A and B are shown apart, each in its own frame.
Chain A
Amino acid sequence: MESTTKTKSPPVPPSSPDILLIGLNHETAPVALRECIALSETDAESGLETLRRDPDVQEAMLLSTCNRVEVLTVTRNRDRAAQYVKGLLAGIGRVDAALLEDALYVHVGDAAVRHVFRVASSLDSMMVGEPQILGQIKAAYRLATTKKTTGVILNRLLHRAFFVAKRVRTETGIGDHAVSISYAAIELAKKIFDTLEGKKVLLVGAGEMAEIAVEHLVRHRVGSLFVANRTFERGLHLAEKFKGQAIRFEEIDDLLTVVDIIISSTGAPEVVIAHDQVKGIIRARKNRPLFFIDIAVPRDIDPAINQLSNTYVYDIDDLKGIVEENKEDRLREAAKGERIVDEAVLGFRRWYESLEVVPTVVALRNKIEGILRAEIEKTLSGFNGISDSHREAFYRMANAMVNKILHDPTLYLKNISQHETKAMILDITRKLFKLNT
């Protein structure tokens, strides 16, 4: 197998098939180009059908997300296949082929395998460790299997990729810690309240950010939700969406004694909740903790409130700071992920090479020869006074048996012309005789 290449080699069809990956992602292509290439479900289906018709492409899979479009193929003529795939992408996106060429990366062999593993493990994502990509790959793979464009090699490759992704996720902290503002706020709330179940939440201002945070909170089964907005109708709309209760702005004071979490995101130029307002109600709250999440700029919550006992105020910068720290953590963990991927690439190569005929035949021969020899030894050790010439005769017989037994299978394996069947049958042979893979 070879590494990444963009150079043209002479068009001699190589004997063994190559894994070829062509694609573009958020790093190589601007969004303007990505949105042209992005494939809809029907695009992907027709793309797979087109690929299946191409005689140079033996197996194929299409992955399209908002950050990447990739075509994974198994081919015996990678130059012709690469041209074909590039043409296909340019056709779908109706973009200039030369423009596309600059944005595309081409990986062959080990490099392609590594790329697939890295993408599945979310090491190649814009936000390292984000979990959606694995689901997207699984969906793409499912589509390819229903369109019957995958075979032995891609099946194995993708299943390994899912396995690697799972390992990376469980063995490294790549998915730990929040990397979005609203999720960071939830994590903090859990360090204060332990569980968010049944906690009362007040939303001050009905901005979009607040809405996202509330979605997270609802998922954590918070109790009642109150929405206070300057324009009551907008508040009412949001409250209805989350089965909460809309209140008037003037009622905030009364609610301060009741709620546990306050998310504020108004466009007000001055503070909405002042230090004294909160100080006065701490006793009435019996010192129950109160958590302010201030995602407004300029700030809505008086930062001095953080000094009061059992109240905690986090503003947008504090939350951003946490997110930045967490991102750095993830990158550190990603390095561990790369090591897992390296290991998996080696493992895959061993399997891939085993698909060659000669090593399989040799392994098969060794196995059968080994069994016969062991059995002869066992049998002969039961007799006394066996001469060396007798012993030799037994071994000659064993050799002849191995040759006769393996004659037809060897011929058959060597003469399969169709690549697809060959890879499959070699794989089956190895499994059937449990030859080392």
Chain B
Amino acid sequence: MEHFIAAIIGFYLLSTACYLAYLFFQKDLLHRIGYLLLFFGFLCHCAMILWTFIQIGHMPVRNLFETLSLAAWAVSAVFLAIRYRFKLKVLGVFVAPLALALMLVASQLPRYAGESKGIFSSFWFVFHVICVFIGDAAFALACGAGTLYLLQERTIKRKARGFFFSRLPSLERLDATGYACIVVGFTFLTAGLIGGFIYAKAVWGRFWSWDPKEVWSAITWLVYAALLHERLAVGWRGRRAAILSIIGFAVLLFTFFGVNFFLKGHHGVFTRL
């Protein structure tokens, strides 16, 4: 287990170094190596999660360590897929350090897991967790693309071409990638929430129980739904879409961590130390 964690952190660290070097020196080889290293890290990560899954017989989300680790895994997974499709190399500068940071924090947390309830092994539970995590990771990437968009837009508007102008891709590509991330994220989040409702019905006998986690999840969902609606109906793109994807991610972070730490609720077990 600890070997797995060390290997994953090692790969993510090297990948981060490569991507940062790429940002400065702009050599194609660097981001290719960075991508490959991230991929190896991801494979180790898959192996670790699968191994734990088999050992305990259900999704390893019993404490904050396992939850963060799964988040890092989802971020890598979504980036590996999106990067393949959109060729947005520079996003790795955002993703590799994010995955690394998540894993570093996770590695410092206690591994101890309390009694796990049998209800974790349901199919809908696994479905719910995986979909929500992948959705959240896609939103994290959208936030990254949005940040890069704002940076690049600023340099172009102010006509002061500094460090970023030549290093960042075009506005249209950043915008298109951000949009794709939101679509992916929204699809998975919706599916994940539906899975959650079905699971809640099976476990507690009702779909909706006004739990803070549920309420905030709904708020997050509505923010992204609004963003997508405006984009399709009025053509909200570019700057506004970028800002909203960052706000959306902030709300999402609160739903993910804030609710558990400040508001309690029936998801508390996943982030316990």
Contact = CB atoms under 8 A, between A and B. Distances in A.
Interface in A186-206: 188, 190-194
Contact of B237 (A310, A318, A321, A322): A310
B239 A314 contact: no
A254 B172 CA distance: 24
A127 to B, nearest CB: 20
A26 interface: no
Contact of B157 (A194, A288, A312): A312
Contacts of A306: 157
Contact of A309 (B156, B169, B173, B239): B239
B235 A318 contact: no
Contacts of B236: 287
Contacts of B161: 322, 325
Contacts of B264: none
A318 B156 CA distance: 11
A191 B165 contact: yes
A159 B195 CA distance: 70
B240 A309 contact: yes
A283 interface: yes
Given A309-B239, A312-B157, A314-B159, A192 B171 contact: yes
Interface string A306-322: 10011010100010011
B235 A287 contact: yes
A192 B239 contact: no
Interface in B155-184: 156-157, 159, 161, 165, 169-173
Contacts of B170: 190-194
B235 A286 contact: yes
Nearest to A309: B239
Contacts of A321: 159
Q: What's the interface size class on B, roughly?
A: 10 to 19
A192 B159 CA distance: 13
B245 interface: no
A288 B169 contact: no
Interface string B129-170: 000000000000000000000001000110101000100011
Contacts of B156: 188, 191-192, 312
Contacts of B234: 283, 286-287
A321 B160 CA distance: 10
A192 B235 contact: no
A287 B172 CA distance: 12
For B169, B173, B235, the residue with the greatest tally of chain A CB atoms inside 10 Å of its CB is B235
A285 interface: yes
A289 interface: yes
A289 B149 CA distance: 13
Contacts of A283: 234-235
Contacts of B173: 194
B85 to A, nearest CB: 15
Nearest to B174: A194
A194 B169 contact: yes
Nearest to B175: A289
11 contacts: A190-B170, A191-B171, A194-B170, A194-B172, A286-B237, A287-B236, A287-B237, A309-B238, A309-B239, A312-B156, A314-B159
Given A310-B238, A321-B159, 9 more contacts: A188-B156, A191-B152, A191-B171, A192-B171, A194-B170, A283-B235, A286-B234, A312-B156, A325-B161
Interface of B: 152, 156-157, 159, 161, 165, 169-173, 234-240
Considering the complex of A and B, which 7 residue pairs feature the smallest CB-CB distances, nearest first? Answer: A286-B235, A194-B170, A310-B238, A287-B235, A194-B172, A194-B173, A287-B237
